[in-house]
């Protein structure tokens, strides 16, 4: 364990987040998501829900200024409570979250740097978060 690091951020996940470049995506997926079929790299966090993982990721990852968060559009075109929680966990205004049709979301997820499969059982509990530019370190810090 490390001081100040969310325990959901395993060494493997931290390494993936560090290796990501600007605009690379991380797909935080629910337990129903076809992660093994779509993901180039798949990490499992079966004991966590997607909002908790997004919150942990955001504790160390700045967001891209273009399309920072994609959510999978439910069939009824509404927004579900789990999706509201994902927007809150990403520290965004709801208008900043883009709703993406399910199969188009799968296409975006297949291009993500990493897919994190969680134990989230609520349907449509999936999010793609895009990495922004990490600010330059201050001298002497």
Annotation marks residue 106 as catalytic: yes
CA pair distance 35, 30, nearest whole angstrom? 9
The residue assigned the tokens 């993406």 is 100
Q: Is the dihedral of CA 106, 107, 110, 115 positive or negative?
A: negative
Selected catalytic residue, list 24, 64, 67, 84: 64
77: which DSSP letter?
Answer: S
Annotation marks residue 32 as catalytic: no
Selected catalytic residue, list 24, 67, 84, 106: 106
CA pair distance 113, 33, nearest whole angstrom? 16
Annotation marks residue 76 as catalytic: no
- 8 Å CB contact between 50 and 129: no
Question: Torsions phi, psi of 39, nearest 5?
Answer: -85, 135
Selected catalytic residue, list 18, 22, 65, 107: 22
CA pair distance 19, 31, nearest whole angstrom? 25
Give the active site residues: 22, 64, 106
């Amino acid at each position: 364990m490390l001081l100040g690091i969310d325990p959901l951020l395993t060494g493997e996940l931290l390494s993936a987040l560090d290796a990501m470049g600007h605009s690379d995506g991380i797909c935080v997926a629910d337990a129903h998501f076809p992660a093994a079929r779509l993901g180039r790299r798949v990490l499992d966090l079966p004991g966590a829900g997607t909002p908790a993982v997004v919150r942990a990721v955001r504790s160390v990852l700045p967001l891209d200024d273009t399309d920072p968060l994609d959510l999978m559009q439910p069939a009824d075109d509404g927004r579900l409570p789990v999706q509201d929680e994902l927007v809150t966990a990403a520290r965004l205004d709801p208008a900043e979250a883009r709703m993406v049709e399910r199969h188009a979301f799968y296409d975006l997820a297949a291009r993500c740097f990493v897919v994190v499969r969680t134990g989230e059982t609520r349907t449509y509990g999936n999010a793609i978060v895009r990495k922004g530019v990490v600010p330059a370190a201050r001298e002497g810090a």
